[in-house]
Copies of this chain bind each other. A is one copy, B any other.
Amino acid sequence: MSVVLANCPADGVAPDNYHATSIYPEFVQVEPGRWVLLAESRMDCVIRKNPDGTLEVVEFRRLKKGDLVAVGRGENGEDGIYVHAGPLDRLPDFLAGWTPANVSGRMSGPMSVDAQPSASQADTQPADNFATTSAGHLADGAAASGAPGLPGTSGASASSGTVTAPSASFASPSPAATADKFAFRTGVSRETSFSLDYDTLYEVLRHDREHGHIVWVAGPAVVFDADARRAFAGLIDAGYVHGLLAGNALATHDLEAALYGTALGQGLYDKRQAPRGHYHHLDAINTIRGCGSIRAAVQSGRVRDGVMHALETRSVPYVLAGSIRDDGPLPEVIADVYAAQDAMRAHVRRATTVVALATALHTIATGNMTPSYQAGPGASLRPVHFFIADISEFAAGKLADRGSLTSRSILTNVQDFVVNVHRALTGACRTE
Protein backbone atom coordinates (compact mmCIF):
# COMPACT_ATOMS: atom_id res chain seq x y z
CA MET A 1 0.00 0.00 0.00
CA SER A 2 1.05 3.59 -0.36
CA VAL A 3 2.05 5.55 2.65
CA VAL A 4 -0.70 7.11 4.71
CA LEU A 5 -0.53 10.64 6.02
CA ALA A 6 -2.38 12.25 8.89
CA ASN A 7 -2.65 15.76 10.23
CA CYS A 8 -0.84 17.06 13.27
CA PRO A 9 -3.40 17.89 15.98
CA ALA A 10 -1.38 20.78 17.42
CA ASP A 11 1.90 22.56 17.07
CA GLY A 12 4.74 20.24 17.98
CA VAL A 13 2.50 17.21 18.27
CA ALA A 14 2.48 14.33 15.80
CA PRO A 15 -0.66 12.41 14.91
CA ASP A 16 -1.28 9.05 16.56
CA ASN A 17 0.64 6.16 15.09
CA TYR A 18 3.18 8.46 13.45
CA HIS A 19 6.13 6.71 11.89
CA ALA A 20 9.46 7.52 13.54
CA THR A 21 12.57 7.45 11.43
CA SER A 22 15.72 5.45 12.13
CA ILE A 23 19.35 5.71 11.09
CA TYR A 24 18.66 3.34 8.20
CA PRO A 25 17.60 4.12 4.66
CA GLU A 26 13.84 4.30 4.58
CA PHE A 27 11.82 4.10 1.41
CA VAL A 28 8.34 5.52 1.16
CA GLN A 29 5.86 4.21 -1.37
CA VAL A 30 4.22 7.37 -2.60
CA GLU A 31 2.06 5.60 -5.10
CA PRO A 32 1.84 1.92 -5.98
CA GLY A 33 5.23 0.73 -7.14
CA ARG A 34 6.85 4.13 -6.73
CA TRP A 35 9.38 4.21 -3.87
CA VAL A 36 11.15 7.33 -2.71
CA LEU A 37 14.22 7.28 -0.48
CA LEU A 38 14.17 9.70 2.41
CA ALA A 39 17.00 12.16 2.11
CA GLU A 40 18.93 13.78 4.94
CA SER A 41 17.16 11.58 7.42
CA ARG A 42 17.86 11.23 11.12
CA MET A 43 16.73 9.07 13.99
CA ASP A 44 13.59 9.67 16.02
CA CYS A 45 11.96 12.19 13.71
CA VAL A 46 8.82 12.06 11.62
CA ILE A 47 8.23 12.21 7.87
CA ARG A 48 6.41 15.34 6.81
CA LYS A 49 4.97 15.96 3.41
CA ASN A 50 5.54 19.58 2.67
CA PRO A 51 3.11 21.72 0.72
CA ASP A 52 5.41 21.54 -2.30
CA GLY A 53 5.10 17.76 -2.26
CA THR A 54 8.54 17.01 -0.87
CA LEU A 55 9.09 14.55 1.95
CA GLU A 56 11.14 15.93 4.82
CA VAL A 57 12.42 14.33 8.01
CA VAL A 58 11.60 16.79 10.77
CA GLU A 59 11.86 17.01 14.53
CA PHE A 60 8.64 16.94 16.54
CA ARG A 61 9.29 20.43 17.80
CA ARG A 62 9.15 21.81 14.27
CA LEU A 63 5.70 20.42 13.48
CA LYS A 64 2.79 22.78 13.02
CA LYS A 65 -0.85 22.04 13.52
CA GLY A 66 -2.25 20.53 10.35
CA ASP A 67 1.09 19.35 8.97
CA LEU A 68 0.84 16.06 7.11
CA VAL A 69 2.90 13.33 8.72
CA ALA A 70 3.37 9.72 7.67
CA VAL A 71 1.72 7.16 9.94
CA GLY A 72 2.26 3.44 10.35
CA ARG A 73 4.96 1.54 12.19
CA GLY A 74 5.49 -1.40 9.93
CA GLU A 75 9.07 -1.58 8.72
CA ASN A 76 8.64 -4.00 5.86
CA GLY A 77 6.42 -2.07 3.51
CA GLU A 78 3.10 -3.10 4.99
CA ASP A 79 2.44 0.56 5.80
CA GLY A 80 4.10 1.93 2.71
CA ILE A 81 7.45 2.38 4.41
CA TYR A 82 10.41 0.06 4.06
CA VAL A 83 13.29 0.31 6.56
CA HIS A 84 16.41 -1.21 5.12
CA ALA A 85 18.69 -2.50 7.85
CA GLY A 86 20.75 -4.74 5.58
CA PRO A 87 23.82 -4.00 3.45
CA LEU A 88 23.44 -0.91 1.34
CA ASP A 89 24.18 -2.75 -1.89
CA ARG A 90 21.50 -5.35 -1.28
CA LEU A 91 18.16 -3.69 -1.63
CA PRO A 92 15.05 -5.81 -2.09
CA ASP A 93 13.94 -6.22 -5.67
CA PHE A 94 10.68 -4.38 -5.20
CA LEU A 95 12.61 -1.18 -4.55
CA ALA A 96 14.13 -1.24 -8.02
CA GLY A 97 13.66 2.13 -9.62
CA TRP A 98 13.58 4.05 -6.35
CA THR A 99 14.30 7.74 -6.52
CA PRO A 100 15.65 10.07 -3.88
CA ALA A 101 13.38 12.57 -2.23
CA ASN A 102 14.37 16.07 -3.08
CA VAL A 103 14.01 18.02 0.07
CA SER A 104 15.43 21.32 -0.98
CA GLY A 105 13.36 21.73 -4.09
CA ARG A 106 10.57 19.70 -5.51
CA MET A 107 9.86 16.13 -4.66
CA SER A 108 11.04 13.65 -7.21
CA GLY A 109 7.66 13.11 -8.63
CA PRO A 110 3.99 13.62 -8.09
CA MET A 111 2.80 11.70 -5.12
CA SER A 112 -0.68 10.45 -4.54
CA VAL A 113 -1.34 10.16 -0.88
CA ASP A 114 -4.13 8.12 0.55
CA ALA A 115 -6.41 9.60 3.08
CA GLN A 116 -6.35 7.95 6.44
CA PRO A 117 -7.54 4.47 5.53
CA SER A 118 -10.22 2.48 7.20
CA ALA A 119 -9.06 -0.47 9.17
CA SER A 120 -10.39 -2.86 6.61
CA GLN A 121 -8.32 -1.26 3.91
CA ALA A 122 -5.20 -1.66 5.91
CA ASP A 123 -6.00 -5.22 6.80
CA THR A 124 -6.57 -6.36 3.29
CA GLN A 125 -3.23 -5.03 2.14
CA PRO A 126 -0.93 -8.01 1.64
CA ALA A 127 2.28 -6.94 3.30
CA ASP A 128 3.92 -10.31 3.68
CA ASN A 129 5.44 -10.17 0.27
CA PHE A 130 7.74 -7.34 1.31
CA ALA A 131 8.96 -9.04 4.39
CA THR A 132 9.74 -12.21 2.58
CA THR A 133 11.62 -10.45 -0.14
CA SER A 134 13.54 -8.45 2.35
CA ALA A 135 14.45 -11.43 4.43
CA GLY A 136 15.85 -13.22 1.45
CA HIS A 137 18.08 -10.34 0.59
CA LEU A 138 19.18 -9.82 4.12
CA ALA A 139 20.32 -13.40 4.29
CA ASP A 140 22.26 -12.93 1.06
CA GLY A 141 23.77 -9.80 2.40
CA ALA A 142 24.84 -11.41 5.59
CA ALA A 143 26.50 -14.24 3.74
CA ALA A 144 28.33 -11.76 1.58
CA SER A 145 29.56 -9.57 4.39
CA GLY A 146 33.03 -10.97 4.11
CA ALA A 147 34.46 -7.50 3.97
CA PRO A 148 36.11 -7.56 0.54
CA GLY A 149 38.11 -4.48 -0.13
CA LEU A 150 39.01 -3.90 3.48
CA PRO A 151 42.51 -2.60 3.79
CA GLY A 152 45.22 -5.03 4.67
CA THR A 153 45.03 -8.49 6.13
CA SER A 154 46.24 -10.08 9.28
CA GLY A 155 49.58 -11.04 7.84
CA ALA A 156 50.26 -7.98 5.74
CA SER A 157 51.53 -4.65 6.87
CA ALA A 158 48.75 -2.14 6.84
CA SER A 159 50.74 0.51 5.06
CA SER A 160 52.10 -1.74 2.38
CA GLY A 161 48.67 -2.92 1.34
CA THR A 162 47.85 -1.44 -2.03
CA VAL A 163 44.28 -0.61 -1.33
CA THR A 164 42.96 0.25 -4.72
CA ALA A 165 40.03 2.46 -5.42
CA PRO A 166 38.81 3.25 -1.98
CA SER A 167 35.23 3.53 -3.01
CA ALA A 168 32.63 5.00 -0.79
CA SER A 169 31.05 1.64 -0.25
CA PHE A 170 33.48 0.27 2.29
CA ALA A 171 32.24 -3.03 3.44
CA SER A 172 31.10 -4.03 6.86
CA PRO A 173 33.65 -4.35 9.62
CA SER A 174 31.60 -7.10 11.19
CA PRO A 175 33.42 -10.38 11.20
CA ALA A 176 31.92 -13.26 9.33
CA ALA A 177 29.45 -15.14 11.41
CA THR A 178 30.59 -18.42 12.85
CA ALA A 179 28.46 -21.44 13.44
CA ASP A 180 30.25 -22.32 16.67
CA LYS A 181 28.19 -22.56 19.81
CA PHE A 182 30.70 -20.49 21.67
CA ALA A 183 33.22 -17.81 20.87
CA PHE A 184 35.15 -15.39 23.02
CA ARG A 185 35.40 -11.68 22.47
CA THR A 186 32.21 -10.88 20.64
CA GLY A 187 31.93 -7.33 22.00
CA VAL A 188 34.15 -4.29 21.82
CA SER A 189 36.40 -3.43 24.74
CA ARG A 190 39.80 -2.02 25.53
CA GLU A 191 41.21 -5.40 24.56
CA THR A 192 39.75 -5.36 21.06
CA SER A 193 42.30 -5.02 18.30
CA PHE A 194 42.14 -1.57 16.72
CA SER A 195 44.76 -1.64 13.98
CA LEU A 196 42.20 -2.39 11.32
CA ASP A 197 39.95 0.41 12.56
CA TYR A 198 42.77 2.91 12.38
CA ASP A 199 43.70 1.81 8.88
CA THR A 200 40.10 2.00 7.74
CA LEU A 201 39.76 5.44 9.24
CA TYR A 202 42.87 6.66 7.46
CA GLU A 203 41.59 5.34 4.17
CA VAL A 204 38.17 6.85 4.65
CA LEU A 205 39.58 10.24 5.59
CA ARG A 206 41.96 10.30 2.63
CA HIS A 207 39.07 9.51 0.34
CA ASP A 208 36.55 11.87 1.86
CA ARG A 209 38.91 14.82 2.08
CA GLU A 210 38.30 15.27 -1.64
CA HIS A 211 35.17 13.27 -2.24
CA GLY A 212 33.12 13.62 0.90
CA HIS A 213 32.31 15.80 3.85
CA ILE A 214 34.08 15.10 7.12
CA VAL A 215 32.47 16.37 10.30
CA TRP A 216 34.33 16.15 13.61
CA VAL A 217 32.81 16.21 17.05
CA ALA A 218 35.15 17.00 19.90
CA GLY A 219 35.26 17.38 23.64
CA PRO A 220 37.70 19.64 25.46
CA ALA A 221 40.23 16.88 26.19
CA VAL A 222 41.44 17.31 22.61
CA VAL A 223 43.01 20.62 23.56
CA PHE A 224 44.31 19.68 27.03
CA ASP A 225 47.55 18.25 25.69
CA ALA A 226 50.12 20.13 23.67
CA ASP A 227 50.73 17.44 21.07
CA ALA A 228 47.07 16.57 20.64
CA ARG A 229 46.05 20.19 20.22
CA ARG A 230 48.77 20.77 17.66
CA ALA A 231 47.81 17.58 15.83
CA PHE A 232 44.16 18.50 15.61
CA ALA A 233 44.98 21.95 14.35
CA GLY A 234 47.25 20.25 11.83
CA LEU A 235 44.38 18.10 10.59
CA ILE A 236 42.36 21.24 10.01
CA ASP A 237 45.24 22.84 8.15
CA ALA A 238 45.63 19.73 6.02
CA GLY A 239 42.02 19.79 4.91
CA TYR A 240 40.65 16.82 6.81
CA VAL A 241 38.09 18.80 8.77
CA HIS A 242 35.08 20.17 6.95
CA GLY A 243 33.13 21.08 10.04
CA LEU A 244 33.52 20.91 13.80
CA LEU A 245 30.79 20.41 16.36
CA ALA A 246 31.85 21.25 19.90
CA GLY A 247 30.97 23.25 22.96
CA ASN A 248 32.06 26.26 24.89
CA ALA A 249 34.68 24.30 26.81
CA LEU A 250 36.74 23.16 23.85
CA ALA A 251 36.91 26.66 22.45
CA THR A 252 37.58 28.22 25.85
CA HIS A 253 40.49 25.98 26.74
CA ASP A 254 41.92 26.14 23.24
CA LEU A 255 41.91 29.91 23.51
CA GLU A 256 43.29 29.72 27.04
CA ALA A 257 46.13 27.66 25.62
CA ALA A 258 46.72 30.20 22.88
CA LEU A 259 46.82 33.07 25.35
CA TYR A 260 48.45 31.46 28.40
CA GLY A 261 49.79 28.04 27.45
CA THR A 262 47.55 26.36 29.97
CA ALA A 263 44.28 24.42 30.24
CA LEU A 264 42.38 25.17 33.43
CA GLY A 265 45.59 26.70 34.68
CA GLN A 266 47.82 23.70 34.08
CA GLY A 267 50.61 23.83 31.56
CA LEU A 268 49.66 22.09 28.34
CA TYR A 269 53.04 20.42 28.14
CA ASP A 270 54.88 20.86 31.41
CA LYS A 271 51.76 20.39 33.56
CA ARG A 272 52.79 23.05 36.03
CA GLN A 273 50.10 24.88 37.89
CA ALA A 274 50.43 28.49 36.91
CA PRO A 275 50.07 31.01 39.73
CA ARG A 276 46.48 32.22 39.72
CA GLY A 277 46.02 29.69 36.93
CA HIS A 278 42.38 29.17 37.81
CA TYR A 279 41.83 32.65 36.37
CA HIS A 280 43.15 31.71 32.96
CA HIS A 281 40.02 30.31 31.40
CA LEU A 282 37.97 33.20 32.73
CA ASP A 283 40.54 35.67 31.45
CA ALA A 284 40.48 33.98 28.07
CA ILE A 285 36.72 34.25 27.87
CA ASN A 286 36.77 37.85 29.05
CA THR A 287 39.40 38.73 26.52
CA ILE A 288 37.50 37.18 23.63
CA ARG A 289 34.28 38.80 24.77
CA GLY A 290 36.16 42.07 24.80
CA CYS A 291 37.24 41.45 21.21
CA GLY A 292 33.63 40.80 20.26
CA SER A 293 34.12 37.35 18.77
CA ILE A 294 36.59 34.53 18.32
CA ARG A 295 36.96 35.58 14.74
CA ALA A 296 37.89 39.09 15.75
CA ALA A 297 40.39 37.79 18.26
CA VAL A 298 42.06 35.69 15.58
CA GLN A 299 42.01 38.44 12.99
CA SER A 300 43.43 40.94 15.44
CA GLY A 301 46.37 38.65 16.11
CA ARG A 302 45.53 38.08 19.76
CA VAL A 303 45.08 34.37 19.10
CA ARG A 304 47.92 32.90 17.09
CA ASP A 305 47.65 29.14 17.26
CA GLY A 306 45.43 26.23 18.07
CA VAL A 307 42.17 24.75 16.95
CA MET A 308 40.01 27.87 16.80
CA HIS A 309 42.78 29.72 15.04
CA ALA A 310 43.02 26.99 12.42
CA LEU A 311 39.27 26.91 11.91
CA GLU A 312 39.07 30.64 11.46
CA THR A 313 42.06 30.98 9.20
CA ARG A 314 40.95 28.02 7.06
CA SER A 315 37.32 29.18 7.04
CA VAL A 316 36.13 25.86 8.36
CA PRO A 317 32.67 26.28 9.84
CA TYR A 318 31.96 25.20 13.38
CA VAL A 319 29.12 25.03 15.85
CA LEU A 320 29.63 25.77 19.52
CA ALA A 321 26.60 24.52 21.38
CA GLY A 322 25.88 25.94 24.80
CA SER A 323 25.47 23.89 27.95
CA ILE A 324 24.57 24.52 31.54
CA ARG A 325 28.20 23.95 32.53
CA ASP A 326 29.46 26.93 30.59
CA ASP A 327 31.38 29.83 31.94
CA GLY A 328 31.12 32.92 29.84
CA PRO A 329 30.09 31.92 27.27
CA LEU A 330 32.18 32.82 24.28
CA PRO A 331 30.37 35.04 21.79
CA GLU A 332 29.90 32.37 19.11
CA VAL A 333 28.21 29.92 21.49
CA ILE A 334 24.57 29.17 20.72
CA ALA A 335 22.52 29.50 23.88
CA ASP A 336 19.37 27.77 22.64
CA VAL A 337 20.09 24.06 22.46
CA TYR A 338 17.49 23.41 19.78
CA ALA A 339 18.89 26.17 17.62
CA ALA A 340 22.22 24.47 18.24
CA GLN A 341 20.73 21.15 17.14
CA ASP A 342 19.57 22.76 13.93
CA ALA A 343 23.00 24.24 13.33
CA MET A 344 24.63 20.89 13.98
CA ARG A 345 22.26 19.05 11.72
CA ALA A 346 22.99 21.46 8.90
CA HIS A 347 26.50 20.00 8.93
CA VAL A 348 25.44 16.44 9.48
CA ARG A 349 23.07 16.48 6.51
CA ARG A 350 26.10 16.67 4.26
CA ALA A 351 28.39 14.39 6.26
CA THR A 352 29.86 11.30 4.68
CA THR A 353 32.10 10.66 7.68
CA VAL A 354 31.79 11.67 11.31
CA VAL A 355 34.66 11.36 13.77
CA ALA A 356 33.64 11.88 17.39
CA LEU A 357 36.25 12.48 20.06
CA ALA A 358 35.90 12.10 23.80
CA THR A 359 32.53 13.67 24.41
CA ALA A 360 29.46 11.69 25.32
CA LEU A 361 27.10 14.63 25.13
CA HIS A 362 28.02 15.90 21.70
CA THR A 363 28.65 12.46 20.25
CA ILE A 364 25.25 11.13 21.25
CA ALA A 365 23.61 14.33 20.05
CA THR A 366 25.37 14.00 16.71
CA GLY A 367 24.79 10.28 16.48
CA ASN A 368 21.09 10.81 16.89
CA MET A 369 20.99 13.09 13.88
CA THR A 370 23.32 11.12 11.63
CA PRO A 371 21.82 8.65 9.16
CA SER A 372 23.79 5.56 8.24
CA TYR A 373 23.78 6.42 4.55
CA GLN A 374 23.93 9.13 1.95
CA ALA A 375 22.14 9.06 -1.34
CA GLY A 376 24.64 9.43 -4.15
CA PRO A 377 24.33 10.11 -7.84
CA GLY A 378 22.37 7.73 -10.01
CA ALA A 379 20.27 6.12 -7.32
CA SER A 380 23.27 4.86 -5.39
CA LEU A 381 23.74 4.65 -1.65
CA ARG A 382 26.93 5.08 0.28
CA PRO A 383 27.47 4.59 3.99
CA VAL A 384 28.09 7.40 6.41
CA HIS A 385 31.07 6.34 8.48
CA PHE A 386 30.89 7.03 12.17
CA PHE A 387 34.08 6.68 14.18
CA ILE A 388 34.17 7.15 17.91
CA ALA A 389 37.28 7.55 20.04
CA ASP A 390 36.59 7.31 23.73
CA ILE A 391 38.40 5.80 26.69
CA SER A 392 35.40 4.28 28.41
CA GLU A 393 33.59 1.06 27.59
CA PHE A 394 30.41 2.61 28.90
CA ALA A 395 30.58 5.64 26.65
CA ALA A 396 31.71 3.70 23.61
CA GLY A 397 29.03 1.11 24.12
CA LYS A 398 26.37 3.71 24.58
CA LEU A 399 27.50 5.63 21.54
CA ALA A 400 27.95 2.66 19.30
CA ASP A 401 24.65 1.02 20.17
CA ARG A 402 23.16 2.09 16.88
CA GLY A 403 22.97 -1.19 15.04
CA SER A 404 24.93 0.45 12.30
CA LEU A 405 27.16 -1.33 9.88
CA THR A 406 29.42 1.63 9.73
CA SER A 407 29.99 2.67 13.32
CA ARG A 408 33.30 1.81 14.93
CA SER A 409 34.57 2.58 18.40
CA ILE A 410 38.22 2.83 19.32
CA LEU A 411 38.79 2.77 23.05
CA THR A 412 41.77 4.90 23.80
CA ASN A 413 42.89 8.25 25.08
CA VAL A 414 41.89 10.90 22.60
CA GLN A 415 45.34 12.44 22.85
CA ASP A 416 46.92 9.37 21.31
CA PHE A 417 44.11 9.02 18.81
CA VAL A 418 44.44 12.51 17.39
CA VAL A 419 48.22 12.38 17.25
CA ASN A 420 48.06 9.02 15.49
CA VAL A 421 45.59 10.23 12.90
CA HIS A 422 47.57 13.37 12.21
CA ARG A 423 50.81 11.48 11.86
CA ALA A 424 49.34 8.91 9.51
CA LEU A 425 47.56 11.39 7.28
CA THR A 426 50.12 14.11 6.96
CA GLY A 427 52.86 11.73 5.94
CA ALA A 428 55.02 12.94 8.77
CA CYS A 429 55.44 9.29 9.48
CA ARG A 430 54.91 6.07 7.72
CA THR A 431 52.56 3.73 9.49
CA GLU A 432 54.17 0.39 10.05
Contact surface of A with B, Cβ cutoff 8 Å: 9-10, 12-14, 18, 20, 22-24, 44, 60-61, 73, 75, 83, 85, 147, 150, 152-158, 173, 175-187, 189-196, 198, 220-221, 224-228, 230-231, 261-279, 282, 285-286, 289-290, 321-329, 335-341, 344, 361-362, 364-365, 368, 391-394, 397-398, 401, 403, 410-413, 415-417, 419-420, 422-423, 428-430, 432
CA distance A277 to B282 in the complex (A): 42
The one of B44, B321, B325, B411 that contacts A413, using a Cβ cutoff of 8 Å: B411
**Chain B residues whose C-beta falls within 8 Å of the C-beta of A278 in the assembled complex:** 20, 180, 182-184
**By the criterion CB–CB under 8 Å, are B416 and A413 in contact?**
yes
CA distance A228 to B193 in the complex (A): 9
**Chain B residues whose C-beta falls within 8 Å of the C-beta of A150 in the assembled complex:** 270
Q: A231-B432, A276-B180 are in contact. Are A20 and B365 (CB under 8 A)?
A: no
CA distance A337 to B340 in the complex (A): 11
**Chain B residues whose C-beta falls within 8 Å of the C-beta of A60 in the assembled complex:** 282, 285-286, 289, 327-328
| A189, A193, A224, A286 pick with most chain B CB within 10 angstroms | A193
- 18 new A-B contacts, CB < 8 A, other than A180-B276, A193-B269, A195-B415, are A9-B290, A61-B328, A156-B269, A158-B227, A178-B273, A183-B273, A185-B265, A185-B266, A191-B220, A191-B224, A193-B266, A196-B271, A227-B432, A336-B336, A391-B412, A416-B417, A423-B432, A428-B429
CB closest residue in chain B, given A344: B324
**By the criterion CB–CB under 8 Å, are B325 and A323 in contact?**
no
**Chain B residues whose C-beta falls within 8 Å of the C-beta of A264 in the assembled complex:** 184-185
| A268, A327, A364 pick with most chain B CB within 10 angstroms | A327
CA distance A190 to B414 in the complex (A): 9
CB closest residue in chain B, given A15: B286
**By the criterion CB–CB under 8 Å, are A153 and B269 in contact?**
yes
**Chain B residues whose C-beta falls within 8 Å of the C-beta of A18 in the assembled complex:** 286
Can you list 13 A-B pairs with a CB-CB distance of less than 8 A?
A10-B289, A13-B289, A20-B282, A61-B329, A73-B276, A150-B270, A155-B261, A181-B403, A186-B273, A191-B220, A322-B337, A326-B337, A419-B432
CB closest residue in chain B, given A277: B183
**By the criterion CB–CB under 8 Å, are B338 and A181 in contact?**
no
CA distance A304 to B72 in the complex (A): 28
**By the criterion CB–CB under 8 Å, are B338 and A415 in contact?**
no
**Chain B residues whose C-beta falls within 8 Å of the C-beta of A361 in the assembled complex:** 323-325, 361
Closest Cβ–Cβ distance, residue A211 to chain B (whole Å): 25
**Chain B residues whose C-beta falls within 8 Å of the C-beta of A391 in the assembled complex:** 190, 391, 411-413
Closest Cβ–Cβ distance, residue A408 to chain B (whole Å): 10
